[in-house]
Amino acid sequence: MRQYSLVCVSACFIGVAATAHLEAQSFRTVAISRLMTGEDSLLVNVDFAAGTLRLGPGDGRSLYRGELYYDEDKFTPLTTFDENTSSLHFGLSPVDKSLNLGRIETPQRLSLTIAPRVPVGISATLGATEAELELGGLSLFHADIKTRAAKAFLAFSQPNRIGCNRLTLKTGAAEFSAIGLGNSRCDEVSFAGGVGDVLLDFTGDWSGGAARKADIHLGLGQLTIRLPRTVGVAIDVDRFLASFDKAGLEKVGSEYRSPDYGVADARLHITIKAVLGDIDIEWVEQ
Amino acid sequence: MHRAREMISIATALTFGWTVADGNAAAQVQSVSETSRVIAHQATVSNQAASLQFQLANGDALTVTLEGGRVDVEWVIGHSKSRQVSAEYEPDGELEMAWNKLVAQGGRLNTQEMLSAVQRWRLEGLGATDEKAFGAVTSPFANLVALETPDDIKYGAPHAQTEAGSGVAEALASPEVLQALEALKTLEELGNLESLKGLADLEGVESLEGLEEALRALETSDALEDLESLGEIQPGTPAVPTAESRPPTIRSMASQVGGDLLGLLATFVALSALGFGLVFFAPRQLEIVADTVHHSFWRSFLVGLFAEPLIIPVFGMLLLGLALTVIGVVIIPFATVGFVVAIGLAITGGYLAVARSVGEAYLRQRMSRGYAVGSWLSYRYIVYGLVALLALWLPAVLLGSVPVAGDIAAISAAVLTWMLATAGFGATLLSRAGIRGTFARSFNQALSDEYLYQTPQATPIVRKHERISKS
């Protein structure tokens, strides 16, 4: 009987503590917007420690438009715009740097839209987030996306409006998908992943011919590379305990090549370094 | 000199704030006209406060905050900041609620629309306190003007690739269409068509005009047909991959394994409950079926194997036979239910009997080694047996997301479970649902080790015989 009483009392305490914790959370919404004034370019720096993030092209009337919904006890908003460098710093910074952000704080969210016609460079550092990044249709000249423990989906649903120098993607323990990388029109795509499932989809607009590079490093996990058949592909694989599905590729020297690599207008040279996991190749008719 | 200019500006602003609060806004229009072009805004809403800030083209900023019953107006001019309480309002009153709602629109509206919304904002029927506060809230914004965004700004020459096949994409990405879609989205979120007029006031007429123009443009152009013919973009296609198209992940695999384990646990609980019921209500029958499985497993399996294909024909014959008589026709529904229940019980009961048999074999083995196994043996047999049988599914659950091994484990578990269930079904038939113990174990007279006991012999018999033979 005494044990039951103790259990009941403990349960009550836990319930009260949990309720108090919920009540203690105080959320704040911050929305920002800025009109275009003929900026030559825009540098966007996104820091988002935890929550849900959406980034994409805007309606073209604002240089950027963003909204934050966050726990004001744990985070402080970053909403600064430097007119001299045309750079926006947007996101959340934890009040306590030692705060454990191991899980995605679902209620928190960040949304940001960017003017499609302004040349933009994006640098994003994402913590425990679930991110949807639509970079298609922007005028992207550079992007550097870093995710830690995150679930991130990057898409180029429309072709990039301008040529892009480099697209750098770094993930920690994450689920990461990048769709339509062919539309990114980036000369070089670099991906470095720690642990997780990764899908890199190189479909998109390859018309006009292009020779692009992709540099892929993966520690542990499953890597799926989706390739359009219209593109000549050469893959240089350096793997330790990783399986490699070389479907549709033939070995030429030290690398695997698609049959039409020598005559294709558009070419993609991929370098893969993987330690443990599976590397799958999928071919897509375009 | 610079400092003096700032002080003058602050004084002007403060004077502006006070005077407009008194209803003399027109007097200040000229004084701020050069510096009041709005370029950006920031809206902040929390449980305690809601504030709206407009940043001006010259770097100055105006912030109006409603918090704790006070209207705070803050001007930042150059490096100087001035803040004052210009009025008080009723906390949690109509003014505060409407202000919060207005400021909450800040995420959906661009700066022009936000400024337009706050300038068109009207409230009627307020009390005297809130009426005065309303004037203090709105008057600082009265003379602000949104910066005109030049239409002829040209950013980065569009690439030839983009131009070649993306007329449709260009049409869809045009500001008019996007503006219209944004307005539609807001309408959809509000979900109230009656508020259309109010929304028009709130968002600015430009949006709705843009909407009409955009829809007309879409109707007259071949954009949608082009889209379909190109096959590039399907209506309703999400910009980011859907959950279905995403590859399986470690997280999703873990959640799947967790779900399957819970399913397995639920199955165990359900079968245990059924087993306990059988042990309680029909212990002897269950024991006979279990013994039949134990002693005549392959015979039971073959009977079950041959009986399973006959279930449906037997059911058909039953119905046919009943349909031949008038009374039979009446009892067809009951017979159908009874037949299904009987088959279900036979298969489930047979499976539980197999579990009991397995559990019994295991526990008897433990007992023979001298381990104490406690009381309630019949129930223990069921529990142990079910654990053993359902453990067959553990590899399938744990390897469920592994492409080949998972399939092999699942198929193996399914085949083994089917075999055991078939044997149980056959044993149920052989034992006539546990009534006939013909194929159960025969009575073993060696009930205990005492029958194996032999008295130690005092003298070696062989030697004695040898001695006798020698002698």
Higher pLDDT, B364 or A117: A117
Q: Does A80 contact chain B (CB < 8 Å)?
A: no
For residue B141, CA distances in Å to A155, B25, B29, B38, B116 come to 40, 10, 11, 10, 10
Contact A196 B156 (CB under 8 A): no
Q: What is the pLDDT of residue A148?
A: 82
Contact A31 B106 (CB under 8 A): yes
State how far the Cα of A275 lies from the Cα of A243, in Å rounded to an integer: 9
pLDDT digits (tens, 9 = 90+) for B273-329: 988 888 888 888 888 888 888 888 888 899 999 998 888 889 888 888 888 887 888
CA atoms within 13 A of residue B327's CA, in its CB half-sphere: 0
Contact A117 B155 (CB under 8 A): yes
H-helix or E-strand containing A253?
none
B251 CB-near residues (< 8 Å, 6+ apart) = A151, A175
Which residue in B has a C-alpha nearest to residue A223's C-alpha?
B247
Task: Say yes or no to pLDDT of B18 above 70.
Answer: no
H-helix or E-strand containing A211?
strand A210-228
Q: What percent of chain B has pLDDT over 70?
A: 62
3-state helix, strand, coil in chain B (%, to 5): 65, 10, 25
CB A142 within 8 A of CB A45: no
Concatenated DSSP letters of B94-153: HHHHHHHHHHHGGGTS-HHHHHHHHHH----S--HHHHHHHHHHHGGGTT-EEPPPPTT-
Q: Which of A88, A67, A192, A185 is nearest to A136 (CA)?
A: A185
φ, ψ of residue B266 to 5 degrees: the values are -65, -40
The one-letter amino acid at B329: V
Task: Say yes or no to pLDDT of B442 above 60.
Answer: no
Which residues in chain B have their CB less than 8 angstroms from residue A158's CB? 166, 169, 173
Q: Which two tokens stand for residue B144?
A: 């602000």
Q: What three-state secondary structure class fits B17? A: helix
- The CA distance from B281 to the nearest CA of chain A, in Å, is 32
pLDDT digits (tens, 9 = 90+) for B70-122: 999 998 888 888 888 888 898 888 888 889 888 888 878 888 888 888 888 88
Q: What is the pLDDT of residue A221?
A: 82
Higher pLDDT, B258 or A62: A62
Nearest to A162 among B38, B156, B165 (CB): B156
Q: Does B63 contact chain A (CB < 8 Å)?
A: no
Q: List A residues 226-285 in contact with B (Cβ-Cβ < 8 A).
A: none
Which residue in A has a C-alpha nearest to residue B170's C-alpha?
A137
Contact A36 B153 (CB under 8 A): yes
For residue B270, CA distances in Å to B267, B347, B386 come to 5, 15, 11
State how far the Cα of B254 lies from the Cα of B194, in Å rounded to an integer: 48
pLDDT digits (tens, 9 = 90+) for B388-419: 988 988 888 888 777 788 888 889 999 999 99
- The CA distance from A100 to the nearest CA of chain B, in Å, is 19
A68 - beta bridge partners?
A30, A110
Which residues in chain A have their CB less than 8 angstroms from residue B59's CB? 83
Contact A38 B159 (CB under 8 A): no
Nearest to B247 among A36, A137, A199 (CB): A199
Nearest to A161 among B162, B249, B251 (CB): B162
Q: What is the pLDDT of residue A140?
A: 95
Which residues in chain B have their CB less than 8 angstroms from residue A118's CB? 155
Nearest to A61 among B104, B162, B179 (CB): B179
- The model carries a pTM of 0.54
Which residues in chain A have their CB less than 8 angstroms from residue B146's CB? 35
Q: Which residues of A1-23 are buried (b: 16+ CB within 10 A; e: fewer)?
A: eeeeeeeeeeeeeeeeeeeeeee
Q: Does A125 contact chain B (CB < 8 Å)?
A: no
pLDDT in tens, chain A (286 residues): 344 443 444 444 344 444 444 445 688 999 999 998 888 899 999 999 888 999 999 988 899 999 999 988 888 999 999 988 999 999 988 887 666 555 545 688 999 999 999 999 999 999 888 899 999 999 999 999 998 877 899 999 999 999 899 999 998 877 899 999 999 999 999 999 888 889 999 999 887 667 789 999 988 888 899 999 989 999 998 887 778 888 888 888 888 999 988 888 889 999 999 888 888 899 988 7
Q: Which of A121, A176, A190 is nearest to A147 (CA)?
A: A176
Residue B246: pLDDT band with limits 50, 70, 90: very low
Task: Say yes or no to pLDDT of B2 above 90.
Answer: no
Which residues in chain B have their CB less than 8 angstroms from residue A87's CB? none
Which residues in chain A have their CB less than 8 angstroms from residue B176's CB? none
Q: What is the pLDDT of residue B323?
A: 83
Q: Does B160 contact chain A (CB < 8 Å)?
A: yes
Q: What is the pLDDT of residue B293?
A: 85
Which residue in B has a C-alpha nearest to residue A221's C-alpha?
B250
Which residues in chain A have their CB less than 8 angstroms from residue B39's CB? 34-35, 37
Concatenated DSSP letters of A14-75: HHHHHHHHHHH--EEEEEEEEE----S-EEEEEEEEEEEEEEEE--SSEEEEEEEEEETTTE
Q: What three-state secondary structure class fits A101? A: coil
β strands within B142-196, DSSP E: 145-146
Report, as an integer, the average pLDDT of B30-51: 76
Task: Say yes or no to pLDDT of B330 above 70.
Answer: yes
Q: What is the pLDDT of residue B449?
A: 54
Q: What is the pLDDT of residue B457?
A: 57
Higher pLDDT, B135 or B182: B135
Contact B162 A139 (CB under 8 A): no
- The CA distance from B59 to the nearest CA of chain A, in Å, is 9
